[in-house]
Amino acid sequence: MATYEQRPGGAWRAKIRRKGYPPLSATFDTKADAQRWAAEVEGDMSRSRFVDMREAERTTLTEALERYYLEVSSSKKGARQELTRVNKWKKHPLAGKGLAALRSSDFAAYRDEALKAGKSVSTVKLDLAIISHLFTVAIKDWGIQGLSNPITKIRMPKGATERDRRPMSIELQGVIKAAGEIHAEMPAIIELAIETAMRRSELLGLRRENVKAKHVLLEDTKNGTRRLVPLSSKARMLLDGLPARLDGMVFSLAPHSVSQYFLRACKAAKVQDLHFHDMRHEGTSRLFEKGLSIMEVASITGHKTMSMLKRYTHLCPDTLADKLG
């Protein structure tokens, strides 16, 4: 049974003690409000529908983000990027709210304000994705009762048309020539990125000991899966032409340096709207144009799903027309 007591100042506190349930109390402005709350809670207990919301109410988003980073983000390959997003959320006004108090409308408002402020669709999606996964972990792994994921109830922002930029041969020639004038390794890096469709981090993390006769062994990939990447005759020639390094690495450049040098080379060659990651797009598309099957291409590129593979694949219409006869 519930008991009620009036507090100094006129507020009313309701207390509920019932066998098999934790003791509960709450304070209200009027006795009628306290009685109404107690009746609802005791009714849920009688119908075995009571959910203990105390942990969900007292755990703030800031506290949840800190625990999420320590237990989840820190073990990811993108831990540094996630820490940036975690710290950004901790500065947001929503960070002080309890998890139970966060609503889908809160994050819909964040979505709209962020887009209006000029943030890219991909940035907003990634910001919301970390909150969505936090709630999933809180519900499934931490066992916090009474929560539902507010991100699943809002519309994700729609981005621009998927990128389908493929460089023309003359553009590539100009960029490769300009890149060679910036750093001696850049031409081989660009051409190998196309020939193998490897990610920038995979290519630049390559060790000489993992380069075999007709393939390279990737021990550490973005999705954590060990992968063998076959080498074309051109790729083998490019690798054979590189000087041996004392540290055992194939290349000396850091990933961010390659991206910066690539942009400088594009500017020098007067090639617009081309990024280094487009070389992976180009390489993947060429694999399909050579007649490889979806499974064969996926085994080379490391894509896990067809939807992910499709994002990187833009076949040349002229090549498809030749196949039609």
- The C-alpha atoms of residue 188 and residue 178 are separated, in whole angstroms, by 13
- The C-alpha atoms of residue 11 and residue 166 are separated, in whole angstroms, by 69
Tell how far CA 197 is from the center of its chain: 20
**Residue among 111, 227, 280, 281 flagged as catalytic:** 280
**Residue among 90, 97, 277, 311 flagged as catalytic:** 277
Active site residue 312: yes
**Residue among 222, 234, 256, 290 flagged as catalytic:** 222
Active site residue 69: no
Active site residue 314: no
- The C-alpha atoms of residue 32 and residue 35 are separated, in whole angstroms, by 5
Residue type, 191: E
From residue 175, alpha-carbon distances to 167, 187, 277 in Å are 10, 9, 14
**Residue among 85, 200, 227, 303 flagged as catalytic:** 303
Do 146 and 56 contact (CB within 8 A), yes or no?
Answer: yes
**Residue among 85, 110, 111, 199 flagged as catalytic:** 199
Active site residue 58: no
Active site residue 199: yes
- The C-alpha atoms of residue 23 and residue 15 are separated, in whole angstroms, by 7
- The pairing of strands 12-16 and 227-230 is unpaired
| Residues labelled as active-site residues | 199, 222, 277, 280, 303, 312
